[in-house]
Structure 1
């Protein structure tokens, strides 16, 4: 039988991932500290800790992949159109905006995909926290199990 302490620790493991908005790498530091300190005391806390850490590592991996794919599209677009600002002294300044490149659309699409992924990440963390609070197991979707 799960007691409230175990449920609270599991909930705080998930919620501690939001510490990244205050502390750099807090989404890894918080869950790892809570998980390591409590994993031997409860199988429930151990499973939720592993899920939270695996999810954060998976999100980092997906963000690196999307970033690696997105950045070159923007760089190639702006290096190709490097002459889009004409500046000839203070009396002659022009901005030439031409037709957008398909590369810009692809890069923008990947940026939108990253934003949707961020929103889904927040939703999954909240859902996992609520499941832990209720004493139920939760498995994040799209998670690679680095810690088994």
Structure 2
């Protein structure tokens, strides 16, 4: 895979997380993980972040019994938008990026 293609797919995987949650990074990781170190690192990073957000959404849903859960869900939603856009821009520029506040499930 050419470096331009690696940047394109890495960018699309990060943006896919905005619209499809963990499914886009999971599919991207399963299909593209052997296509190069850059795209593998970005797909794994995006998948880890989306799985961490999924946990945050579940915890927020459980905590919505009390009011604080709504704030947890809102904070996770805003962080998803901001960090996915930053990661997509960095991937498009060819930079390595790691999401903050992420649990590493996949390396």
| TM-score > 0.5 by shorter chain | yes
Q: Deviations over 1:82-120 (max 9, x none)?
A: xxxxxxxxxxxxxxxxxxxxxxxxx1x442342132112
2:53 is equivalent to residue 50 of structure 1: no
Larger strand proportion of the pair: 1
Normalised by the length of structure 1, the TM-score is 0.66
Aligned length: 106
Structure 1 stretches of 4+ moved >4 Å: none
The residue number in structure 2 matching 1:115 is 74
The residue number in structure 2 matching 1:133 is 92
- 3-state SS in 2 of match to 1:37: helix
- Tell me which moved more, 126-135 or 113-122: 113-122
- Tell me which moved more, 5-14 or 61-70: 61-70
Bigger Rg, which one: 1
The residue number in structure 2 matching 1:9 is 9
Structure 2 gaps, min length 5:
none
* Residues 69, 112 of structure 1: alpha-carbon distance in 2 compared, 3 angstrom cutoff: closer
Q: Is the CA contact 2:83–2:99 (under 8 Å) kept in the aligned structure 1?
A: yes
- Where in structure 2 are the equivalents of 1:21-60 lying within 5 Å? 27-60=21-54
Q: CA RMSD in A?
A: 1.5
- Where in structure 2 are the equivalents of 1:61-72 lying within 5 Å? 61-71=55-65
- Distance in 1 (CA, whole Å) between partners of 2:77 and 2:39 is 25
Structure 1 gaps, min length 5:
21-26, 74-106
Q: Offset at 1:3? A: 1.7
